[in-house]
A and B are shown apart, each in its own frame.
Chain A
Amino acid sequence: MTCPANPADRRPLTRRLFVLVLLGLAVSAPAEVSLPGIAQAKLEPAAKGRLLLEELNCVACHRSTDEAKAASKQAPRLSDVANRVNPGYLAPFIRDPHAVKPGTTMPAPLAGLTAAEQTSAAEEISQFLLSTQPSRFAPEAPDAVAAAQGEKLFQARGCAACHSPRDPQGRETLAATSVPLGALEGKYSFRSLVDFLRQPHISRPSLRMPDLRLPARELECIAHYLLRDTVVPGHLNYTMYRGQVWEGIGHEAVEPERAGLTADFTLANLDRIHHHLAVRFEGWINLPAAGDYTFSLKANGATLTVDGKEVVALAPKDRRGPQAIEGKATLAAGWRKLRLDYYHTGREPSLAFNLTGPGFPRGPIPSTMLSVSDRPIAPFRAPTLDPTLVARGRERFAQLGCARCHDDLGVNSPEATPLAKLTPEQGCLATTPSQGVRFDLSVEQRGWIIAALRAGPATVASPEQTLHAELARLNCLACHERRELGGIPPTRNALFTGTAPALGDQGRLPPPLSDVGAKLTPAALEAALLQGHRQRPYVDAAMPQFGEANVRRLIALFAEVDHLETVKPPTIANLQESRNAGYEMVGAKGFSCIACHDFNGQKSAGAGALDLVNLTQRLQKNWFHLYMRSPQRFHPGIIMPNYWPGGQSLRPDVLGGDTDQQIEALWRYLETGKQAKNPAGLSRQSKELRVTDVAEIARGRSSIGYRGLAVGYPGRISLAFDTEEMALRQLWKGEFANVDLGSFQPRALDTMASLPAGVPFHRLKSLEDNWPAKGKTTFGFPQNLGYQFRGYDLDAARRPTFHYEYGEVKVDDRFEDMVDAAGAAFFRRTLRLTAPAGTTPFTFRVAAGTKVSATGPQAYAADKLRVRLIASPAAILREGELLIPLTLPAGTTTLTLDYQW
């Protein structure tokens, strides 16, 4: 997850203003009730109309049967609305719901009143609602770092399957086919939104907004994202960063950690200050007078910009204490933008920041001069309640029929015409509604409802129609494909992600529901629908929980509707023989199912497809037989091959090549569940490469990178050399390595001495300069420093001499395994450097570690490793590094060093 260097700056003010305008001047805009599940369903108009009647809770006003009441969506509970919703949101929303939240199912309740009356009525009802409970509502500043994470989660966890994804400007890109959210920063506080997401059923008991059962931290990030346009007064914004901060904010190894508001430019107000941390402070200073200002800083590293211009800059160093530095600027009076990047790289955090200017004696900038904006931000004020308005609001709430839907406030509304006695095309359904509430229905939606009213309640839906209607109601098809009903629309397909790309679409899309009633056992369906059990940990999307009342019936409906042809399982003559055959086929020497599938909690070596061990409890056996004969039939495009193409087994040697017996044998073996014997090949075998009288080489992926090269020497010592950075990285004794298909793993890990990554030679600008090493995004490194690996030659004992170039210097780098007087093996390294005349001096890093020190004349220790200079210019030490400055004459210079550990 990458975050912009300065997340606080990313949102344009225009959208915030737009939201304010929207809230302030509710303009009536034509819209339609947005229920994408129903809109996209393949259902008869009357069936869609019935769903709309239920989703719009028409029977709350127009009494009908108890079944219709039970099936209808309950309106949001209002008893805690004072804590949940921003008081300023209520009146404009009540006045014109569709202008504030286009697509909402909330009808405009005041449609029958004059414009002036609408405004006062909305205010009165708002006052009444706020009076029902003391309000703790308070907006909070968003954490821009968490919001950036939340943006990714909003997509990955499946929120964006129903709600519209947003572009970088925050505009909803798929609003027309989404469940509307509206601008949430005017509606929720961080706390109230998190509370809602954690327990959506409390305020929305019908759970059309399901419970995603996400970890608290993920819910918080999503809330920060949805509320990232919240503006509250404050003095300064800060963003805290961690990592290799001496590289500067914006470097790939520096990650933002959190963000928020702080009072001033001190570290004291920020908790959790760790080593290797950077803080970016941003805000505005209100200067009382024009003139020359001096900014004084004391820190290990810091950059100050005023109105975008750099005034003070001290590059951070990991090898230095705090330094004092000053910068001057001539500034006009009024609001000036300040940005201070502070780098904590030394031992103790230390930041002093003082200002001197006209009429301003040297000192820290007080909070009172600082603001996060150069324009005034009105603080949030809790509403004051007027008992008269509250009383009138209560009356309106009853009289206008609000209490018919929002029936949790102990208010009663008079009844309206019962459903059966309604005249379609009149009242709420008239083209221009003259009485009652105004739903913003499209012509099509009106048509559906009228069709449903005409058809009447007597119509009996088939189980299949009922199932389809329920899937449409809950918008299941936004995530799951069902053959005859469609599924994820192409516009949203790419939003679904997963962590097992090798599985293709199966690794990222929620499983299809085609034939699911003939596929899963009722217990497995119940586990998924009611307990939220998931089989595919690699699919990022969550399986939302819609609650028992909504989904319990689906279990029976799927079973009733879905039917496949029946396979008669073969007769098993000998159960043990069958299980043995199954065991063999699952293993590496059979069909190698475990090449892709996890087994009994153990990872497959490859794709990570779902665990086979509970398969017989989840799947119906009949489906298993059909599926194994043709996986493509059920999942077109699946990467699972067919092992019985055309009904012919690819393994004629198992169970006489009989397809049915083989598939049954797999089932019988897997039926033994967690007790199943681990199939052959599940754990990797050791692949030791032994060294005899000549050296052995292995190249490829290892703990030192992808271009590692390991050499096992006949003297039973080994080394690993990174051919990408030309760096000696590991030395060990004893057994050489396990080697497997382009990778190696040193065997004697307890004897290993390690050196950090980084090139051997460099022209340091000063001794404060960091030693260069490859980062994840330093592309072209180390060729950009003049390096090029050129391979190696082998001597008679097949020991390599590495060849590489450092600019114009050609290097032959050779290690020999030797034995000292006491019989201990060590490496003698001979470096032959061939340089033209006039080569600029550079430094050779011989060793590095946590603790590097001199142990005697020409002798040094770097952690476990001891280095002796045999033929070499003098070395110097700096923290953690042993360096040899080299000034090469024209021709060849030879250095000899011994490494022992």
Chain B
Amino acid sequence: MRRLCLALAAFALPPSLPAEDLGAMWGTAAAEAKYYPVVNIPIPTTVPLRPGGLEVLPDGRLAVGTRRGDIYFVTGAFATPPKPEYHLFATGQDEIFSLAWRDGAMISTSFGEVTRISDLDGDGVADRYETLSNNWGYAEGHEFAFASKPDAEGNVWIALGLSGSYESHNLFRGWAVKVTPDGRMIPVCSGLRSPGGVAANAQGAMFVIESQGPWNGCCSLKPLKPGAFLGHPASYNWYPYTADLKAPVKPNSNSRLTVERARVAELVPPAVRFPYIKMGRSISGFRLDTTGGKFGPFSGQFFLGDYTLSIVLRATTEQVNGVWQGACYPFREGLATGLMNVEFSPQGQLVVGGFTTNTQWPVRGTEPFALQRLDWSGLTPFEVKEINIRPDGFLLTFTLPVDPAVAADPANYAVSTYTHIYQGGYGSPEVDQTEPRVLKAVPSADGLSVRLTLAKIELGHIHEFDFAKVRGRDGAPLLHTKAYYTVNEIPPK
């Protein structure tokens, strides 16, 4: 009887609800599972593990830094099925969102400092907690700190969120700094708002992920070019505290990034913008796929976790006229909790971890905390592998050959463009929409790429591609039909 009531109720809502529900999932989870099944790494009830930072130790164990300030070493996390055993290595720190193993010690970045944690007596438990630097201000809520893995010189790059994520009341809030192996702190870039993770791309350029908010129309991947101003002017206070940097002119609000780039020499635009909701709401930790193909066809690309939507995204970057830009692509949805960080295992699995919270942001995933893995099943999904810009259009690369007849018809590609208002108000609607015509589509002989020629490329715009009509050789559609390329520069002809 009850079942009947429910069935009736299901018809009660008229079908006129907006078709594109902004909060909707992509709806691809079932199809994704064939290629990238989600594997849960169980956490015993005795272990208070809210994962913040992830690292893989030289001996192949997984290291997890937690919100509670503990570091666990986990054996068996990468086995199939996982047989994890949790060993408590270090305790008593502030919230840990970043971990890196370097020269026999754990570099742990918590909100207040970078700490080098080591086990001198070899009993498996840390006994030295050496502060490398705590020389940034930390006195208000939301003043998070996220760090990179060490770069080639051994520096960790740290992104320092604004005070309360809106203003900069304390030293270097809203800056990216780097801390050298001998504990010197060097301010690198201003202009951050509420950054998440920091990681380097395949060329070694360091990037930070930024959240939507004032001066940020949506989440974005920002290049940490030394001396750059990255968009949010609240952090100008601290230029006098740097050795050699001078405050740029202030950007105007209610403008566009391209307009302000012409005024503010130091303003470096985000390399990849992630249209809000469609491509994440609070993107957090991200890592470069260096598995050399063990994780499938996306080697050399970024994989990014999203906190609110519990999804994983992909992104690619390229440098045009000396400026970084690139594209983002849907990858996997339906993870169990709010993702804080991701890390590749030596076996080529993508480990994801995170938590939900009673105290801050809502999350789609329902587990209070979780550690999960995305394993590649060995089957290659039919996906847009990468989009690259060309002087008059784009080069699309696919993971599997396309149907040449379908791919050669320009009518089978829909491209729309838009940008955001660059403003001090919160976020931005998508504005200045255009729909450039696709003039020509030329598939390569092997069917793995298609060269698109557009009537116009819009400078400063996100180019949203709809590939719903593209087919593989077997007639199947793409696993994900959308991709988003941010055009900061157009290559010369």
Contacts and interface: CB of A to CB of B under 8 A. Distances in A.
Interface string A779-801: 11001000011111110001010
A699 B362 contact: no
Interface in B360-384: 360-364, 366
A571 B9 contact: yes
Contacts of A70: none
Q: What are the 8 A-B residue pairs with the smallest beta carbon separation, nearest first?
A: A642-B23, A697-B92, A570-B9, A632-B22, A568-B12, A742-B95, A791-B131, A700-B94
A660 B241 contact: no
B110 interface: yes
A651 B137 CA distance: 41
Nearest to B132: A791
B277 interface: yes
A684 B91 CA distance: 22
Interface string B81-103: 00000000001111100000000
A741 B112 contact: no
Contacts, number: 224
A631 interface: yes
Interface of B: 1-3, 5-6, 8-10, 12-14, 16-18, 21-25, 27, 50, 67-69, 91-95, 110-113, 115-116, 120, 126-131, 134-135, 137-140, 142-143, 164-166, 169-171, 213, 238, 241, 253-254, 276-277, 281, 308-309, 356-364, 366, 421, 423-427, 429
Contact of B17 (A606, A629, A742): A629
Nearest to B66: A741
Contact of B128 (A661, A780, A793): A793
Contact of B13 (A632, A660, A681, A740): A660
Interface string A469-495: 000000000000000000000110110
Contact of A637 (B137, B138, B362, B426): B426
Contact of A698 (B16, B92, B126, B308): B92
Given A502-B142, A633-B21, A789-B134, 4 more contacts: A573-B1, A595-B362, A700-B112, A724-B134
B356 to A, nearest CB: 7
A630 interface: yes
Contacts of B2: 573, 656
Contact of A571 (B5, B16, B21): B5
A661 B427 contact: no
A493 to B, nearest CB: 5
A640 interface: yes
A70 B450 CA distance: 70
A334 interface: no
Contacts of B10: 658-660
Contact of B14 (A565, A606, A660): A565
B131 A723 contact: yes
A650 interface: yes
Contacts of B363: 641
Interface in A548-605: 565-571, 573, 588, 591-592, 594-596, 605
Contact of A660 (B9, B25, B50): B9
A631 B362 CA distance: 13
Contacts of A724: 112, 134
A592 B425 contact: no
A606 B357 contact: yes
B23 A501 contact: no
Contact of B277 (A501, A595, A625, A632): A632
Nearest to B123: A796
Interface of A: 490-491, 493-494, 501-502, 504-505, 565-571, 573, 588, 591-592, 594-596, 605-607, 625-626, 629-633, 636-637, 639-642, 645-648, 650-651, 656, 658-661, 681, 684, 696-701, 705-707, 709, 723-724, 739-742, 776, 779-780, 783, 788-794, 798, 800, 803
B484 to A, nearest CB: 18
A780 B171 contact: yes
Contacts of A681: 358
A504 B358 contact: no
A645 to B, nearest CB: 5
B357 A707 contact: no
A783 B185 CA distance: 12
Contacts of B131: 723, 789-791
Given A504-B427, A741-B95, A706 B111 contact: yes
B427 A595 contact: no
Given A607-B360, A699-B92, A742-B67, A791 B115 contact: yes
Nearest to A777: B169
A742 B113 CA distance: 12
Contacts of B110: 699-700, 742
Given A501-B166, A606-B359, A636-B22, A706 B112 contact: yes
A573 B134 contact: no
A780 B139 CA distance: 13
B171 A567 contact: no
A606 B362 CA distance: 10
9 contacts: A494-B253, A502-B142, A565-B14, A592-B358, A629-B17, A700-B112, A723-B131, A779-B238, A803-B130
Contacts of A646: 21, 24-25, 27
A570 B5 contact: yes
A588 B366 CA distance: 10
B283 to A, nearest CB: 15
B112 A630 contact: no
Nearest to A709: B92
A573 B16 CA distance: 27
B457 to A, nearest CB: 27
Contacts of A740: 68
Contacts of A656: 2-3, 6
Contacts of A631: 23
A660 B69 CA distance: 41
A721 to B, nearest CB: 12
A197 B213 CA distance: 36
A791 B357 contact: no
Contacts of A629: 13, 17, 21
Most chain B CB within a 10 A radius of its CB, from A565, A595, A783:
A595
Contacts of B12: 567-570, 660
